[in-house]
Structure 1
Amino acid sequence: MIKIESEQIPLGEKDLGIRLLTQALVIEVSDRVEFTADSLLKTTRKTNDKIDLVRWKLYVTSGLRKTGFQTLPKLALADTWSYLEKVQDYYQEKSIQNSINDSIIDRVNLINVERIRNIARKNLSEKQFLALEELVINHNKSYTLNNGNKPYYKSLKSDFEAYLNATDSASIKTVGTLSEVVSDLTNRMDYASVLASKQLKWNTELLLIENGLDSLTVDSLKTNINRKLEKLIIIAENSPEKLDSVLINFKNEIIPLFDKLNYTFDSSVSTLVNERHMWDSIFARERNAYYTIYLKERESIKSEIKTISDKAVNDTMGHIRKIINDVFIYLLLIIILILFIPFGLGYFFGKKINGKK
């Protein structure tokens, strides 16, 4: 049986562990922040506080999607650690200006940072951990998280190579075997697909709150319109002569409300279209990366099959040549036995008989 093995270098045990633990933590942190924010939204009445809570969900999850599922496990760990530290610092500074639910948000952010630090401490040597901690601290001083009320994260990838050279330069030589790469891609796409629908909902929710059209406001708006319609019907029944002026007033009051609703829904649809284009580009990029790996592996296997085939042919021809040589020798021996031994015996016995005479 011929066994074909492509030249794939698997991730080390620690690197694979770091990848899986970091991705699991991303999901854990996303769920924790979402649950906490949703719980606080149920008890919050101020518009600004609601906006901050929805943005908190968007900040954390959108950033973790970029940091936690990178190809290099240690870079994903470092970027995730850096981002969670940055989120914690940002909300600690923000809590000075706004006290609503600050202690709960700060506590959740602190738990998230402690969890990623524990993963780093348990899976890195003391030298690697201290070097990475220093890298994270210095990097977070170089930029601001909030950029026009949108989450902004600057990856420390450019500084990461220096960290590897100082601690563990061998870890960048492989991203894993094909099965490990495909598994990583699957985890990344699973998380992205779940998060896409949630972020669309949160962006719509944020847009409604910013325009004063959250769920409570929509209910009150509906009640207000119903009350105006009932008033209009009463006037139409009791004072028909006033109906024209009442209709004009009703029109002037209703049209701005529906214009605002139309603007809100148009903005939501626009956000949905932009999100879909973004995910289309992400999936296309990931699909191209997968096909590139697949084609590379296929070429490697084809090369190995050719090498094995050539070796098998050469070995077979060598055996055939050896068999032919052996057969030739045996045939030569048989010819010697058949031709020369009888003549030799005849010559020997004839000479012996002539000697006696």
Structure 2
Amino acid sequence: MWIRHFKAIGTLLFLVSMSGCSLLEVKLDSQTTPLTKQELNMRLMTREYTQQFFAQVEQTADVISLQYDAQDKLHQSYVLLWKINAEEGVQRAAYQVSPMAALIDSWVFTVQMEQFFTQGAGKDLFVSDDARKTASALSQEFEKLARSSLKGNSFKTSKQFVVEFAKQHPFQDLTFIRTPAYRAWLESQQISEDDAVTTLGTMPEAMGDVSDRLSLVSEQTPKLMTWKAQLIAMNSSISGEQLTATLESLQATSESFQDFVENNPEYMQNLAQQMAIELKPLVNDIDKKTELRLDQLSEERKALEAMVARERAEIALIISAERAKFAQDLDTISQDVITLAMDKVVELIKSTIIYFILFIVAIFFAPLGLGYMLGKRTAVKKANS
């Protein structure tokens, strides 16, 4: 009986959520700018790098832990603190919404950790140089990643910024307090924050981002909780046996409650009935609000459709008017061109006729005139002689 009530409530809530699909669809469609190929590659490679970071830090920390006595609380605590704070810091940097912010902050974090173990406060923290070697290797690997993601001069200027920023904001101890560097990087690159606002991407890209985050939580949270519990137990008066006994007590209490629920169906049925009575006004209120919301959405949709139709009609009128104006202008221009061409043709014909007349004169009259002059000259010479 009570199971049916819960199913009914769940179904109602599902329908309420589905009732807003049209409005939700409008919001989602207005924010479906996809990430660029460079941004997607940047996000993928940065998050893949974190897995390499986790594995190398954990492996090196386990090796360093074996170099100390199990009762050496100080150095064993240092090892645990390095694992906890290094992995929490890099995952906060790498799993940001903006792929570029994740790249820059993760790069700065790896360089800060390298400087901490090579020339900073952690240089002599452990007896061996395993931590220094691992931090340097991880920093070099991330530099290769950045080189493949940032092309040309962008990589060169970004590397210079990362090194300088890490020097200005060094890690002082194993808490690894992270200083976000993305805004400072934008200033160094002379990029406005308004221009750097990133999109969540399309729905599949946003869902993939959420899936990556949930996967990270499921993988890292148990390890981090275990290390923190070990650190607390190591530095408190609680012994390992007491901690184990406490956990067993909690488990026994949970099992007892589960057994009570399974062996008292009448009590649970009565509880479900009481809950149904108490929740009925709420369900009725949700139903009324759902109907109102559906009516409102229907009216909004009609208004939106009317507005779209009106805008389309206005655009069609504007296009038609512009087209008619363009045709009229084209006709006027064509008439002007024809008139100008005819004027030029007439001028060309006139000049051609003139040149033709001159040519005729030169051909027919020039020889006659020349013969006349020569004959006259000859006659003068004979008379003189």
Q: TM-score range by the shorter chain?
A: 0.5 to 0.7
Q: Distance in 1 between matches of 2:302 and 2:205?
A: 21
Q: How many percent of aligned residue pairs carry the same amino acid?
A: 16
Deviations 1:39-98 (A, max 9, x none): 332342143321221111012111012100111111100000101111111122345434
Q: 1:51 to 1:73 in 2, by over 3 A?
A: same
Query: What do the CA deviations read for 1:289-328 (whole angstroms, capped 9, x no partner)?
Result: xxxxxxxxxx9xx97994599549x89xx9xxxxxxxxxx
1:18 and 2:18 matched: no
1:174 aligned residue (179, 199, 212): 199
**1:176-225 residue CA offsets vs partner (Å, 9 max, x unmatched):** 2222122112212221232222111111112233348786xx7xxxxxxx
- Residue 177 of structure 1 aligns with an amino acid whose one-letter code is T
Aligned: 1:105 with 2:122: no
Counterpart residue number, 2:332: none
Tell whether 2:58 aligns with 1:6: no
1:38 aligns with 2:65: no
Alpha-carbon shift at residue 159 of structure 1 (Å): 1.0
Report the secondary structure of 1:53's partner residue: helix
AA at the equivalent of 1:175? L
State the SS of the aligned residue for 1:141: helix
Q: Among 176, 183, 190, which residue is 1:158 paired with?
A: 183
**Is the 1:10–1:174 contact (alpha carbons within 8 Å) kept by the matching residues of 2?**
yes
The one of 78, 86, 110 equivalent to 1:52 is 78
Where do residues 1-357 of structure 1 align in structure 2 (5 Å cutoff)? 6-7=29-30, 8-45=32-69, 46-92=72-118, 93-94=120-121, 96-101=123-128, 103-146=129-172, 150-163=175-188, 165-166=190-191, 172-211=197-236, 306-307=304-305, 311=309
Larger Rg, first or second structure (1 or 2): 2
The structural deviation recorded for 1:104 is: 1.4
Cα–Cα, structure 1 residues 48 and 167, in superposed 2: closer, same or farther, change >3 Å? Answer: same
Query: What do residues 128-167 of structure 1 show as CA deviations (whole Å, max 9, x unaligned)?
Result: 11121122122223334236x5331110133133245459
Q: CA separation of 1:59/1:18 partners in 2, compared to 1, >3 Å: closer, same or farther?
A: same
Q: Deviations over 1:16-42 (max 9, x none)?
A: 100111011112201221122123323
The two structures have a TM-score, normalised by structure 2, of 0.52
The letter for the 2-side match of 1:114 is Q
Q: Distance in 2 between matches of 1:305 and 1:117?
A: 54
Give the C-alpha shift of residue 168 in structure 1: 11
Deviates more, 1:78-87 or 1:206-215: 206-215
Q: Secondary structure at the match of 1:100?
A: coil
Task: Mark the CA change 1:6 to 1:95 in structure 2 (over 3 Å): closer, same or farther.
Answer: closer
* More displaced 10-residue stretch of structure 1: 182-191 or 138-147: 138-147
CA distance in structure 1 between the aligned counterparts of 2:34 and 2:303, rounded to whole angstroms: 21
Task: Check the 8 A contact 1:33/1:108 in 2, yes or no.
Answer: yes
Deviates more, 1:31-40 or 1:157-166: 157-166
C-alpha distance in structure 2 between counterparts of 1:27 and 1:304, whole Å: 51
How much does 1:113 deviate? 0.7
Rate the CA distance shift 1:212–1:111 in 2: closer, same or farther, 3 A. farther
- Given the superposition, is the C-alpha separation of residues 94 and 169 from structure 1 closer, same or farther in structure 2, using an over 3 Å criterion? same
What's the secondary structure of 1:150's corresponding residue?
coil
Which sits farther off after the overlay, 189-198 or 76-85? 189-198
Distance 1:96-1:28 versus aligned 2 partners, 3 A rule: closer
Q: 1:24 to 1:130 in 2, by over 3 A?
A: same
AA at the equivalent of 1:189: L
Q: Is the 8 A contact 2:110 2:139 kept in 1?
A: yes
SS at match of 1:118: helix
TM-score, normalised to structure 1's length?
0.56
Supply the AA of the counterpart residue of 1:9: T
